[in-house]
Structure 1
Amino acid sequence: MWAGVRERVLRLAEHSGADAIFGARGHGFRLGPVMSEEQIRALEADLGGSLPAQYRSFLLRVGGGGAGPDYGLMTPTVCNGRWQWLGIGLAFPAQPTTAEFAGRPFVAEALRSELTALEAEEPTPKAFATDEEFGRAYAAWDARYEELYDAQEAGAVFLSEQGCGYASLMVMTGPHRGAIWEDLRPMDRGIEATGHDFAHWYRRWLERTEQRLET
């Protein structure tokens, strides 16, 4: 699956038009070192389960992070004694994700209807006798909305920044494990499935980039 991929990615940096590829100035077609089996097992211990197979083999054979779709892949690394995904070597990293958070149940799909219902219940001033009553009701509603909004991220890793607040995530738990989803919340569309697994998502980026550069 990953034979020759690391070499192909690194070779792209030598092309004269490489800087014109979207996101290239964020990752420079650089890849971090591959991870060892020992490192991956330590990461999985913090995660509370095994990594998706395609991604696991990528870390062992291609690199821990760096060049990839959009502004590049976040890298799993130890920080303050715990594993998390950080934007090592990336000019425009995605949001960091701890392994513990990524190992929680993935509930974004289940929360969609609950968030929609909650939005319809947003308090309005005319429904309350005083501004103080409205303020208390709105604060409680807003706190619950933020709780559910943030809970959509659990069980997934922010893998790549797309720009303007959009990001690509990889689901780490549940029936969608190993799938790439997109954070489209800036356009009020939630976190949605792309229909692609990690290998398809990464190899499609590589092949399209090679075609554009005619390598």
Structure 2
Amino acid sequence: MSGQTWVGVRERVLALGVSPAGAGVFGSRGHRFALDEPLTSAEVADLEAQIGAVLPEEYREFLLQVGAGGAGPAYGVFPVRRIQGRWRWEGDGADLADLSRLGEPFPQQGPDQEHVRSLLEERPEEEDFEEIEDFDDAIESWDERWEPVMFAPDRTVGAVVISHLGCAARQWLIISGPEQGRIWSDNRVDDEDLTLLLDERGEPTTFARWYLTWLDESERQQQQASPS
């Protein structure tokens, strides 16, 4: 992506909010195609100093040229804001990210899959219990073994939650490590490990491609829904 990636993008997004046809885009009833104001260079530098990491270039330029968050894929891009002198991302599940560890490389490899399969095979089923209270106790005990595996803090170091897809499914932007700048999908709510988001060509999805693909598709939907 070149330095021209974000030229005119803010205007295109805001224009989508003017037409009633834009309401048909998934998630738009929440973000309404509104964007926070862009950050200044000094604010971005302050943010990077706080997290101890350099932001991925595409995302950094987005913050400077488009906005600090708002309209975007699914229910929008989580805004990053300075609250009482400290920067943080805000949104459903944003607190899953450990902002004190964003300088650490994001691990490409998740939990041992054989261990995951073994745990899933041992998961209690309600129909196997005569009393609901016994099932509740069993599933609670199983959760105590499951969550440290799938939701281990080390699994998501070096990344921030960037968007919420609904039903506890989310997407992460990788800040540090070999995957820097790429988007990873988080469907752990469905007992799946985080996975690299791939585009239609099977290539890793970077932040800019993720956002601009959404924008192009939103404009197409609007044009199709608009009266001729």
Global fold match (TM > 0.5): yes
2:215 to 190, 203, 206: 206
Specify whether residues 118 and 85 from structure 1 end up closer, same or farther in structure 2 by C-alpha distance, changes over 3 A only. Answer: same
8 Å contact from structure 1 (residues 168, 183) kept in 2: yes
Rounded Cα–Cα distance in structure 2 between residues aligned with 1:204 and 1:169: 17
Cα RMSD between the aligned structures?
2.4
Task: Specify whether residues 174 and 53 from structure 1 end up closer, same or farther in structure 2 by C-alpha distance, changes over 3 A only.
Answer: same
CA distance in 1, matches of 2:14, 2:83: 27
Structure 1 position 82, deviation (Å):
2.5
- Residues 77-96 of structure 1: CA distance to partner in whole angstroms, max 9, x if unpaired? 22344321013xxxxx4433
The whole-number CA distance in structure 1 between the counterparts of 2:21 and 2:119 is 52
Distance across 2 between alignment mates of 1:193 and 1:73: 18
SS at match of 2:109: helix
Distance across 2 between alignment mates of 1:73 and 1:27: 9
Q: Please, which runs of 5 or more residues in structure 2 have no aligned partner?
A: 123-136, 198-203
SS, match of residue 195 in structure 2: strand
Task: Mark the runs of 5 or more structure 1 residues left unpaired by the alignment.
Answer: 88-92, 125-134
Match of 1:21 among 2, 22, 25: 25
Q: CA deviation at 1:155?
A: 1.6
**Residue equivalent to 1:117:** 115
CA contact (8 A) 1:77 1:83 kept: yes
**Aligned partner (choices 174, 179, 201) of residue 176 of structure 1:** 179
Identity of aligned residues (%): 35
The answer to which structure, 1 or 2, has the higher relative contact order (CA under 8 A, 6+ apart) is: 2
Partners of 1:9 and 1:206 within 8 A in 2: yes
Count of residues paired in the alignment: 195
Aligned pairs for 1:114-153 (under 5 A) are: 116-117=114-115, 120=118, 143=144, 145-150=146-151, 151=153, 152-153=155-156
Matches within 5 A, 1:1-215: 1-87=5-91, 93-96=92-95, 97-107=97-107, 109-113=108-112, 116-117=114-115, 120=118, 143=144, 145-150=146-151, 151=153, 152-194=155-197, 195-214=204-223
Deviations 1:74-124 (A, max 9, x none): 11122344321013xxxxx443345324333312x32332x6425526897
| 1:146 counterpart letter in structure 2 | E
CA contact 1:111–1:148 (8 Å) conserved in 2: no
Q: Structure 1 18/81 Cα, relative in aligned 2: closer, same or farther at 3 Å?
A: same
Do 2:53 and 2:103's aligned partners in 1 also have CA atoms closer than 8 Å? yes
Aligned residue for 1:111, secondary structure, equals coil
